[in-house]
Amino acid sequence: MPADPRAGERSAMVDTQIAARGVRNPRVLEAMRKVPRHLFITAEYQGAAYRDSPLPIGQGQTISQPFIVGLMTELLEISPGDRVLEIGTGSGYQAAILAVLGADVITVERIPEVARMAEENLEKAGISHVRVVVGDGTEGYPPGAPYQAILVTAATPRVPGPLISQMAEGGRLVAPVGARDIQELIRLEKRGEDITSTSFGGVVFVPLLGHYGWEV
């Protein structure tokens, strides 16, 4: 592989934005050092690819801030071979991180043009084990269920019921839940009939539009 001219910026991003703010899992930090984030960013924002912020990716959508990707990934506790469902493919960057951790990823995106862009980005970055599906992710994706981990990367008024049904025993689900303009990052864990919920503070995501999300 040719030397990556942006590896230094990426390493600094991991040290100062992610590890310094408390993401500890060494496998998550390593995955974020590895995946070339700039390949998931449009030409217009190349200079800002490793900046501490979300960025526009077209169609009114955004790629999440690097720290938020690190935090959500850590909360999912991915083991190699886990079946993982992501709702809101966007650029494909979050899906790439999950795949580098050894997960088998299905990611659902409602905007076909965005899904296509994500597929191109994933191919450029040489990422396999990610399947991009176009559809309403608030319904989940029953053919791949149950999932050890489910990640919602768009803001939802409540966790969509179908996603809870598609969690495996011992499974984790992470989602930004709340109002349209600000949400709380929550993590659910399924143990038998019990679902425990823990909150991880305020976040801002673009809305999840669909049957069990916000009205389209």
Q: 153, 163, 173, 186: which one contacts ligand SAH (CB under 6 A)?
A: 153
φ, ψ at 56 (rounded to 5°): -65, 140
Distance CA 116, CA 139 (A): 20
Q: 10, 37, 110, 190: which one contacts ligand SAH (CB under 6 A)?
A: 110
Residue found under tokens 């599906």: 133
CA 163-167-172 angle, 5° bins: 100
The residue (of 89 and 196) whose beta carbon lies closer to ligand SAH is 89
Q: Give, as ranges, the residues between 53 and 92 that touch ligand SAH (CB under 6 A).
A: 61-64, 87-88, 90-91
Q: How many CB atoms are located within 10 Å of the residue 96 CB? A: 28
Stretch that binds ligand SAH, among 7-15, 75-83, 166-174, 205-213 (CB under 6 A): 205-213
The amino acid present at 29, given as its one-letter code, is: L
- Burial label for 134, CB within 10 Å (0-12, 13-18, 19+), is middle
The residue (of 2 and 103) whose beta carbon lies closer to ligand SAH is 103
117 binds ligand SAH, rule: CB under 6 A: no
Distance CA 19, CA 29 (A): 7
Stretch that binds ligand SAH, among 110-118, 141-149, 173-181, 191-199 (CB under 6 A): 110-118
- To the query of whether residue 64 is one of the catalytic residues in this protein, the response is yes
152 binds ligand SAH, rule: CB under 6 A: no
132 binds ligand SAH, rule: CB under 6 A: no
Q: How many CB atoms are located within 10 Å of the residue 165 CB? A: 12
Binding site for ligand SAH (CB under 6 A): 61-64, 87-88, 90-91, 93-94, 108-111, 114, 136-138, 153-154, 206, 208-210, 213
Q: Which residues are catalytic?
A: 64
